[in-house]
Structure 1
Amino acid sequence: MNFHAIRAIYRFEMARTFRTLMQSIASPVLSTSLYFVVFGAAIGSRMGEVDGIHYGAFIIPGLVMLSLLTESISNASFGIYMPKWSGTIYELLSAPVSSAEVILGYVGAATTKSVMLGLLILATARLFVPYHIAHPFWMLAFLLLTAFSFSLFGFILGIWADSFEKLQIVPLMIVTPLTFLGGSFYSISMLPPLWQKIALFNPVVYLVSGFRWSFYGVADVAVGISVAMTALFMLICLVAVWWIFKTGYRLKR
């Protein structure tokens, strides 16, 4: 394992983040803070409890997951797309660096940035809404597993995309709607029976449900199923990345 190569890619990607702090960190934190102000402090104070939890506190895991998914995809996709766009990807492919080392460098940096952002949003939420974390270990585990899985997905998206517009299609048209419909602002038990069954086909439901359980001990789906579905998604992404490097899909053309 060439740790020097992994560290070089990782440090380059992290340096890019710190050069654009306003766009990479401040903007997502500010945007999510507005949700806390509107839905948590303003509207939440006038609403009842959901599953015995104050509404402002109930939506915190969903909002963190919303930012985590979009930023994980964005960080990883942009990180690998830029070398493709500039042509430096060929230097990387010809260097004595394995595909696993490339993935660890890019995906590791994207995961780190996303986890940092998630923790910052949690700290910011404390300024607006009181909450507690019942299972801190599992909260961090879900945070890491989700960030890594969707950073892998973003890495695949960055390789697939051949324009800046395509980088935005999946996050804006698919991931964000699925997150809003995945129980971020409500419990799926509040839906009619038919829609509860339909909601179970939304993979984000399992992420939000498991993450919310780590905070308050309540979940729409069994925690074991949430972990299994997240791990399955990560495995699918790993297989897809392996196939991409094996075949050279959109890398050598």
Structure 2
Amino acid sequence: MNFYAIRAIYLFEMARTWRTLMQSIASPVISTSLYFVVFGSAIGSHMVEIGGVSYGAFIVPGLIMMALMTQSISNASFGIFMPKWSRTIYEILSAPISYVEIVLGYVGAAATKSVILGLLTLITARLFVSFEIAHPLWMIFFLLLISITFSLFGFIIGVWAPSFEKLQIIPLMIVTPLAFLGGSFYSISMLPPFWQKVALANPVVYLISGFRWSFFGVADVHVGISIGMTLVFLTICLTIVWLIFKTGYRLKS
């Protein structure tokens, strides 16, 4: 394992974050804070408790999860897209490093940024609403697992996207709607029976449900199913990344 190569890619990507601190960290935290102000304070004060949890606290895991997913995808996709766009990807591919080391560098940096953002969002949420974390170790586990999984997904999007415009299609047109419909602001148990079954087809439901369980011990689906679904998505992403490097898809042409 070439740790020097992994470290070089990792530090380069992290340095880009510190150069664009306002865009990379401050902007997502401020945007999420607005959700807490509007939904947690203004609307939440008129909402009933959900599963014994105040509405303001109930939406905290969902908002953190939304920020985690979108930023993991954004960081990882942009990180690999820029070398592709500038043609410097050929220097990386011709260097004496394996595809595993390349992925570890880019995905590791993207996941690190997302975890930092998730923790900052958690601290920010504590300023607006009062809550306790029932299972802190499980919370950290979900935080790391989902950051890595969606960073891999973002890496795939960055390789696939032929332009800056298409780089945003999947996050804006697919991931964000699924996050809003996945129980970020409500429990799917509040839906009519038919729509509850429809909601279970949304993979984001399992992620948010498991993450919310780590906070309050309440969930829409069993936590074991949430972990299993996340691991399935992680396995699919790993398989696609392996195929990308095996075939050279949009990297060597």
By the TM > 0.5 criterion, same fold? yes
* Number of the residue aligned with 2:7: 7
* Number of the residue aligned with 1:212: 212
* Number of the residue aligned with 2:199: 199
Unaligned runs of 5+ in 2: none
Query: What is the DSSP-based 3-state SS (H/G/I as helix, E as strand, rest coil) of the residue aligned with 1:176?
Result: helix
How large is the Cα RMSD of the aligned pairs? 0.4
Amino acid at match of 1:7: R
* Number of the residue aligned with 1:158: 158
- Distance in 1, Cα, partners of 2:35 & 2:251: 39
* Number of the residue aligned with 1:123: 123
State which drifts further: 172-181 or 45-54: 45-54
Amino acid at match of 2:122: L
- Distance in 1, Cα, partners of 2:153 & 2:127: 32
Alpha-carbon deviation of 1:46? 1.6
- Distance in 2, Cα, partners of 1:104 & 1:164: 23
CA deviations 1:85-122 (Å, max 9, x no partner) are 00000000000010000000000000000000000000
* Number of the residue aligned with 1:248: 248
- Distance in 1, Cα, partners of 2:54 & 2:118: 21
Alpha-carbon deviation of 1:42? 1.3
* Number of the residue aligned with 1:58: 58
- Distance in 1, Cα, partners of 2:166 & 2:130: 39
* Number of the residue aligned with 1:43: 43
Runs of 4+ in structure 1 off by over 3 angstroms are none
Task: Report matched runs for 1:29-108 at 5 Å.
Answer: 29-108=29-108
Alpha-carbon deviation of 1:47? 1.2
- Distance in 2, Cα, partners of 1:46 & 1:177: 25
* Number of the residue aligned with 2:141: 141
Q: State the number of aligned residues.
A: 253
- Distance in 1, Cα, partners of 2:66 & 2:125: 14
CA deviations 1:123-165 (Å, max 9, x no partner) are 0001111111000000000000000000000000000001000
* Number of the residue aligned with 1:114: 114
Amino acid at match of 1:50: I
The answer as to 2:184 corresponding to 1:184 is: yes
Identity of aligned residues (%): 76
Alpha-carbon deviation of 1:41? 1.2
- Distance in 1, Cα, partners of 2:171 & 2:48: 32
